[in-house]
Every structure is written in structure tokens, then in C-alpha cells.
Amino acid sequence: MPNSKQILIVSGHAEDKFTRIALEQRGFAVTATHDLESSYGQLGNSAFDLVIIDVARAEKGIELVKRLRATPKLSKTLVLTIADWGTGQATLALSEGADAYEPKPISSERLVAAVERLLRQRVARPAAATNAIGIETDA
């Protein structure tokens, strides 16, 4: 079954080829880039449903998370970060607005599962409303 979801992978690592293939086999349309400026340019030109950022390998990965959250047009784009365990990268990415993270070493299967889980949650979230003080309530 074809999947129309658009994913941008931001990393400067050759192993991303396997992740890209695994996502494409699940029907995702995948674009890959390696740095802040080309990533931001891609995001401005296309409607991505999710951005995967390897904060350890992508040049200025945390900065990209910040820019996404500060840009109204892009602020609702899902962000999944990949970070080395124990370095504080994941905590920093989450504090800057990333939606989730996966620790390294990462397998393609685990990453695909995380992507699918995040996208499912995005579909389910509109069913809940948020009250004036930010607490979810049943709509």
C-alpha cells in the first residue's frame, strides 16, 4: 500500500542509505541532506511530514530543530532526532522542540517503527482538544 508521507533525513553519514531504503520500502517518499542550510531550503520548498535529524552527524542539527520551531510555516512538522546515548544531545534536542528521539546505535527497523509510531500519533492527536491552560480534554 503506497504511503504519501514525505520524510527529510538530515545527516552526514553513509549508513543513512540503509535507513532511506528501509523507509522507501515502507512507501515513504524520502529526501536526504547533510547540513542546516540545504535542509532548511528543502523544508521551505516541500511539505515534509517528518524530519529525521542525526544531531551527532548533521552539521548544526540542534540549530535546525530551533529554526523549525521558530518558523510558523514549519513549526508543526514532526521532528525525530537520533542521538548518542549519554551525551546530552537528546535532552537538548527535546528541550528545543523535537518530538522524539532514538538512541544510537540505531537499526533501520527500529527507526522505521519510530517513524510510523510518530506519524500515527499525529493522526490521533486532533481527536483531543486542549483547554485554555494547555490540558488535553476529550473533544
Q: Could you read off the pLDDT of 67-113 as tens digits, one per residue?
A: 999 999 999 999 999 998 888 889 999 999 999 999 988 888 999 99
Whole-number pLDDT of residue 82: 93
Domain span including residue 114: 6-119
Q: Examine the pLDDT at 134 and tell me if it is beyond 90.
A: no
Beta bridge partners of 82: 54, 102
The kind and range of the H/E element at 128 are: strand 128-130
Asked, for residue 135, whether it belongs to a domain, the answer is: no
Q: Is residue 132 situated within a structural domain?
A: no
Q: How far apart are CA 126 and CA 2, in angstroms?
A: 23
- Please indicate, yes or no, if residue 57 is contained in any of the structural domains: yes
Identify the pLDDT of residue 84. Answer: 87
Report pLDDT digits (tens) over 21-77. 999 999 999 998 887 788 888 898 888 999 999 987 766 889 999 999 999 999 999
Parallel/antiparallel/unpaired status of strands 128-130 and 136-138: antiparallel
Question: What separation, in Å, do the N-terminal and C-terminal C-alpha atoms of the chain show?
Answer: 31
Q: Per the structure block, which three cell numbers stand in for 96?
A: 528545543
Inside any domain, residue 124: no
Query: For residue 126, is it within any domain?
Result: no
Do the domain assignments include residue 139?
no
pLDDT confidence of residue 74: 92
Give the residue, 61 or 118, on which the prediction is more confident.
118
Assess whether pLDDT exceeds 60 at residue 126: no
Indicate whether 129 belongs to any domain.
no
CATH at 22: 3.40.50.2300
The reply to whether 74 falls in a domain is: yes
pLDDT of the residue at 14: 61
Q: State the pLDDT at residue 128.
A: 46
pTM for the model stands at 0.82
Q: How many structural domains does the chain have?
A: 1
For the stretch 30-69, what's the b/e string if a residue is b when 16 or more beta carbons lie within 10 angstroms of its beta carbon? bbbbbbbeebbebbeeeebbbbbbbbbbbebbbbbbebbb
Helix (H, G, I), strand (E, B) or coil at 81: strand
**Helices 108-124 and 16-25, packing angle to 10 deg:** 50
